């Protein structure tokens, strides 16, 4: 198997090790890595069912039980898809071994952890890349195009949300059962997606309001963050597991109309169904339904196809040819700083 970079050049096979083979490692990272041409050479997991799953999916891969074993497998890249509580420690092992590392969100439990990773990355020259995959959602790419075309006039407000209804808690789910200090809760799980996309669309922001609640008396499960962007846009970002009537995924309003996206991007569902993008993305494209509303006038807008696979194609290109990573450390620092401030201030009327 060979890597074909973004400019079409063919180079050597890139070997990757995946730490963690649960939902993130198996469903998201592994198929996207394979689609980009990586060889999954090693997998770290100590869970019996996940070991069996990893061996079934990648019979040639080495199954390891520690991060030190994983990084010793002559790798070009390590992907940290394990529990949030070990993101920092495992990423540091990869950096110390001189192996570039992709870290699933959140990059760290707090700003101090992310600053430590940023410092070690700069000192060592080893790449640390945050996995903010929803920058390549269909809706995210479409909004960038709509903004570039100026179809909404002067944009002033974004409503972006991940809402669902799970009134019964699931203690076996570590994200719900773990405290914030252990990496649990929706502030760390879903708000990184909401904040990273809002910053990508509208630029730097300060925190205007935050409400971080534990409605089911476990980890935070109802979180609202409002950002005030320097560009003049206000972003209202909501993540909740306890909303019986979820609102539209995105509502973006300007002086000349409102863009509406009602449903989640379909890429996650496709990956959960065992599908995999091709070498250049999904075929046929996976696109959101996007409408632009001007009072009673409703217009369908042709959405841009989503492309999670771009992330690892771009990572492969940097590993082979050099250049800039698809997500910067500066972006991760900005996102994490706002997450920290939201938890600390927790401003509620």
Residue 1 has pLDDT above 50, yes or no: no
Per-residue confidence (pLDDT) for residue 283, from 0 to 100: 95
CATH 3.40.50.720 applies to domain 3-131: yes
Give 301's pLDDT tier (boundaries 50, 70, 90).
very high
274-300 residue pLDDT tens? 999 999 999 999 999 999 999 999 999
Work out the pLDDT band at 10, boundaries 50, 70, 90. very low
250-276, pLDDT tens digit by residue?
A: 999 999 999 999 999 999 999 999 999
Lowest mean pLDDT among 26-35, 66-75, 183-192: 183-192
pTM comes to 0.93
Write down the pLDDT at residue 171.
58
pLDDT in tens, 150-206: 999 999 999 999 999 988 766 566 667 677 778 889 999 999 999 999 999 999 999
Confidence of residue 346 (pLDDT cuts 50, 70, 90): confident
Residues 174 and 324: their CA atoms lie apart, in Å, by 34
Cα three-residue angle 261-173-85, rounded to 5 degrees: 95
- Show me where the domains of the chain are located: 3-131, 134-307
Say how far apart CA 7 and CA 343 lie, in whole Å. 43
Distance of alpha carbon 133 from alpha carbon 139, whole angstroms: 12
CB 336 within 8 A of CB 107: yes
Average pLDDT, the chain: 93
Q: What is the pLDDT of residue 345?
A: 83
Topology at the third CATH level for domain 134-307: Dihydrodipicolinate Reductase; domain 2 (3.30.360)
Least confident piece of the model among 1-10, 87-96, 192-201: 1-10
Domains 3-131 and 134-307 share a fold: no
């Amino acid at each position: 198997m060979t890597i074909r970079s973004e400019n079409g050049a063919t180079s050597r096979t890139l070997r990757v090790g995946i730490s963690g083979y649960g939902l993130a490692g198996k469903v998201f990272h592994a198929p996207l890595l394979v689609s980009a041409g990586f060889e999954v050479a090693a997998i770290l997991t100590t869970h019996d069912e996940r070991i069996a799953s990893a061996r079934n999916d990648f019979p040639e891969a080495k199954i390891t039980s520690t991060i030190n074993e994983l990084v010793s497998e002559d790798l070009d890249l390590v992907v940290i898809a394990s529990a949030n509580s070990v993101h920092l420690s495992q990423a540091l092992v990869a950096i110390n071994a001189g192996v570039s590392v992709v870290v699933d969100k959140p990059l760290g439990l707090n700003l101090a952890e992310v600053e430590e990773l940023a410092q070690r990355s700069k000192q060592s020259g080893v790449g640390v890349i945050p996995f903010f995959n929803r920058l390549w959602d269909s809706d995210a790419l479409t909004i960038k195009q709509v903004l570039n075309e100026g179809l909404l006039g002067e944009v002033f407000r974004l409503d972006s949300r991940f809402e669902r209804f799970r009134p019964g808690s699931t203690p076996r789910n570590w994200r719900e059962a773990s405290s914030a200090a252990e990496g649990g809760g929706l502030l760390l799980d879903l708000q990184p997606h909401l904040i990273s996309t809002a910053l990508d669309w509208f630029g730097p922001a300060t925190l205007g309001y935050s409400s971080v609640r534990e409605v089911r008396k476990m980890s935070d499960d109802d979180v609202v963050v409002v950002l005030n962007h320097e560009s003049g846009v206000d972003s209202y970002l909501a993540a909740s597991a306890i909303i019986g009537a979820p609102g539209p995924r995105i509502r973006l309003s300007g002086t000349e109309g409102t863009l509406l996206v009602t449903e989640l991007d379909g890429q996650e569902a496709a990956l959960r169904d065992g599908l995999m993008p091709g070498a250049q993305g999904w075929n046929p494209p996976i696109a959101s339904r996007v409408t632009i509303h001007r009072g009673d006038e409703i217009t369908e807008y042709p959405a841009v196809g989503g492309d999670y696979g771009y992330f690892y194609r771009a990572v492969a290109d940097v590993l082979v040819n050099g250049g800039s990573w698809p997500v910067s450390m500066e972006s991760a620092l900005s996102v994490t700083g706002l997450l920290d401030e939201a938890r600390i201030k927790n401003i509620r009327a």
